[in-house]
């Protein structure tokens, strides 16, 4: 494997670790919404995900020149290990995206239910106030 392929492989291994960390965070969000829905805890984990994504973006900025040199050599060298690693990262990104969609849907359903309960409670309070104000006749 060439020095370029080795450098990219090492860098993408680090990114793979970071994407796995994101996957664990999103799985934690799913668990929270499934077991004891807590939007505040989910949002706190969103901040953690954002920090990891910032780290990945920094890595990507750092390897941009290496990626360009590699792309210019496209087809000159096989790098099956690098290709496999990039495939694994892509699969992780897809899994993360699917799980984030489920978390978002759970949050929306939770918020909708909270709003429904709030409206129901408000209607009950208003009915009680009306009975008290006008008396039962």
pLDDT, residue 132, reads 77
Supply 42's token pair. Answer: 């989910």
Q: How far apart are CA 92 and CA 79, in angstroms?
A: 20
What's the whole-number mean pLDDT along residues 9-13?
Answer: 96
Q: Is residue 77 part of a domain?
A: yes
**Residue 2 pLDDT level (bands cut at 50, 70, 90):** confident
Q: Is residue 82 part of a domain?
A: yes
Residue 17 CB coordination number (10 Å): 10
pLDDT, residue 100, reads 96
CA distance readout (Å), 106 to 39, 110, 113: 10, 6, 11
How crowded is the C-beta side of 1, counted as CA atoms within 13 Å?
Answer: 13
Q: How far apart are CA 93 and CA 113, in angstroms?
A: 30
Whether residue 3 has pLDDT greater than 90? no
Residue pointed to by tokens 């920094």: 58
pTM: 0.81
Q: How far apart are CA 47 and CA 20, in angstroms?
A: 16
Give the domain range for residue 84: 3-100
Q: How far apart are CA 29 and CA 42, in angstroms?
A: 5
pLDDT, residue 21, reads 98
What is the 8-class DSSP label of residue 37?
-
- pLDDT tens sequence across 69-113: 888 876 567 789 999 999 999 999 999 999 999 999 999 999 898
Q: How far apart are CA 104 and CA 26, in angstroms?
A: 11
pLDDT, residue 53, reads 98
Residue 32 CB coordination number (10 Å): 19
Q: Is residue 128 part of a domain?
A: no
Q: Is residue 23 part of a domain?
A: yes
- pLDDT tens sequence across 29-62: 999 999 999 999 999 999 999 999 999 999 999 9
Q: Is residue 105 part of a domain?
A: no
Q: Is residue 54 part of a domain?
A: yes
Number of domains in the chain: 1
Q: Is residue 137 part of a domain?
A: no
pLDDT, residue 52, reads 98
pLDDT, residue 74, reads 67
């Amino acid at each position: 494997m060439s020095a370029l392929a080795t450098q990219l492989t090492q860098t993408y291994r680090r990114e793979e670790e970071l994407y796995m960390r994101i996957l664990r965070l999103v799985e934690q969000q799913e668990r929270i919404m499934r077991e004891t829905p807590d939007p505040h805890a989910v949002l706190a984990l969103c901040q953690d995900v954002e920090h990891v994504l910032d780290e990945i973006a920094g890595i990507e900025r750092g390897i941009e020149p290496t990626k360009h040199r590699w792309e210019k050599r496209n087809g000159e060298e096989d790098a099956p290990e690098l290709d496999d690693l990039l495939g694994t990262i892509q699969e992780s990104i897809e899994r993360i995206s699917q799980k984030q969609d489920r978390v978002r849907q759970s949050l929306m359903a939770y918020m909708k239910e909270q709003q429904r309960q709030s409206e129901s409670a408000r209607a009950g309070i208003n009915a009680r106030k009306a009975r008290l104000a006008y008396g039962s006749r």
